[in-house]
């Protein structure tokens, strides 16, 4: 369900093409996450945009500031950041699938625009710093194959493969 704060009335804009309206709101949008990064559910996204009425449509131009957090891909420490995402979208009464968003009654719903922009701009493979060497060997020792004092216990589900002998080509 759309956040009421992101549903913007555009009736006055549509009556007079060329008019503009500034929108500045902060709101939380829970559930924004991709594989490596997420927007904390209680984090405030800041939307700073201008809506303008043009012939039969309403355009939205502005910026969304998105706070995010993720785990470093090497050491798994928590990393946080802030990304500014540029918005340039159009709303129409009869939207073109995948190109424009719908004008519903006399309102535009900025939530799908903000969600799409935030998700597409979250970082995919975060490093806490450029020279991150990975986990601390004192807390997470690395065992190199062949150095282990004992051979690891075999999974019994794979025992049938021991009897399998393949001929070389």
Q: 67 vs 32, 119, 129, 159, CA distance in Å?
A: 11, 11, 18, 49
Q: Give the model's confidence band at 142: pLDDT under 50 very low, under 70 low, under 90 confident, else very high.
A: low
Residue 58 has pLDDT above 90, yes or no: yes
Average pLDDT over the chain reads 86
pLDDT of residue 75: 87
Per-residue pLDDT band at 14 (split at 50, 70, 90): confident
Number of residues in the chain: 169
From CA 169, how far away is CA 167, in angstroms rounded?
6
Cβ within 8 Å of residue 33, ≥6 positions away: 39, 122
What are the tens digits of pLDDT across the range 41-56? 999 999 999 999 988 8
Which residue in 46, 21, 53, 36 sits closest to 117, CA to CA?
Answer: 46
pLDDT at 169 over 60: no
Whole-prediction pTM value?
A: 0.72
Q: Count Cα atoms within 13 angstroms, Cβ side, for 57.
A: 13
Q: What percent of the chain has pLDDT over 70?
A: 88
* Confidence band for 88, pLDDT divided at 50, 70 and 90: very high
Looking at residue 1, its pLDDT comes to: 45
Question: Largest Cα–Cα distance in the chain?
Answer: 81
Beta bridge partners of 50: 22, 61
pLDDT tens column, 143-158: 666 555 566 677 788 8
Is the distance from CB of 89 to CB of 111 less than 8 angstroms?
no
């Amino acid at each position: 369900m759309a956040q009421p704060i992101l549903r913007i009335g555009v009736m006055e804009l549509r009556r007079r093409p060329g008019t503009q309206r500034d929108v500045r709101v902060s709101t939380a949008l829970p559930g924004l996450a991709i594989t490596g990064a997420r927007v904390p559910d209680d984090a405030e996204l800041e939307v700073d945009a201008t809506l303008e009425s043009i012939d039969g449509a309403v355009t939205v131009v502005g910026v969304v500031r998105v706070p995010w957090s993720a785990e470093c891909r090497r050491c798994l420490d928590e990393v946080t950041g802030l990304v500014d995402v540029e918005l340039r979208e159009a709303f129409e009464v009869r939207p073109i699938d995948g190109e424009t968003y719908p004008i519903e009654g006399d309102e535009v719903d900025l939530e799908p625009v903000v969600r799409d922009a935030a998700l597409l701009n979250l970082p995919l493979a975060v490093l806490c710093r450029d020279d991150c060497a990975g986990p601390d060997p004192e807390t997470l020792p690395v065992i190199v194959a062949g150095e282990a004092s004992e051979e690891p216990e075999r999974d019994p589900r794979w025992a049938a493969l021991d009897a399998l002998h393949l001929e070389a080509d």
